[in-house]
């Protein structure tokens, strides 16, 4: 499996952009990068995913480097409700057609007023 590395914690000011980095240097060519977040005592929430190109939706933007060895999740205008643990996950690859997700420790993001 490709592993991911994320900083354990980040602080962000309300109203500012939050840039969450993720390293996945051993990612395979057919593996996608997924981002989820988990607010305390809730199930994870899907944010966004991508393969090669940058992606944007109503929640966030995903920037993937050209060599695909790292990515950045951007929350454009952080709010207090964005305080959560953010998980960067590379989906288990071609040997697993069921698409299992393996969660790491993630990044605890705290948005402050």
- Pair of tokens at residue 100: 């299992």
Distance CA 76, CA 58 (A): 10
Instruction: Give the three-state DSSP class for 4.
Output: coil
80 sits near another protein (criterion: CB under 8 A): no
Residue length of the chain = 113
Q: What residues are paired with 111 via a beta bridge? A: 12
Sole binder of another protein in the list 5, 9, 79, 102 (CB under 8 A): 102
101 sits near another protein (criterion: CB under 8 A): yes
Binding mask 30-49 for another protein (x = CB under 8 A): --x-x-x-x--xxxxxx--x
CB of 24 to another protein, least distance (A): 16
């Amino acid at each position: 499996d490709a592993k991911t590395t994320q900083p354990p914690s980040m602080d962000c000011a309300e109203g500012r952009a939050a840039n969450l980095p993720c390293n996945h240097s051993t990612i395979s060519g057919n593996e996608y990068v997924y981002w989820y977040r988990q607010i305390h005592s809730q199930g994870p929430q899907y944010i966004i995913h991508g393969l090669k190109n940058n992606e944007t939706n109503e929640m966030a933007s995903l920037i993937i480097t050209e060599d695909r060895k790292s990515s950045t999740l951007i929350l454009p205008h952080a709010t207090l409700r964005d305080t959560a643990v953010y998980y960067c996950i590379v989906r288990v690859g071609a040997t697993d057609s069921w698409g299992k997700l393996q969660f790491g420790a993630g990044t605890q993001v705290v948005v402050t007023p």
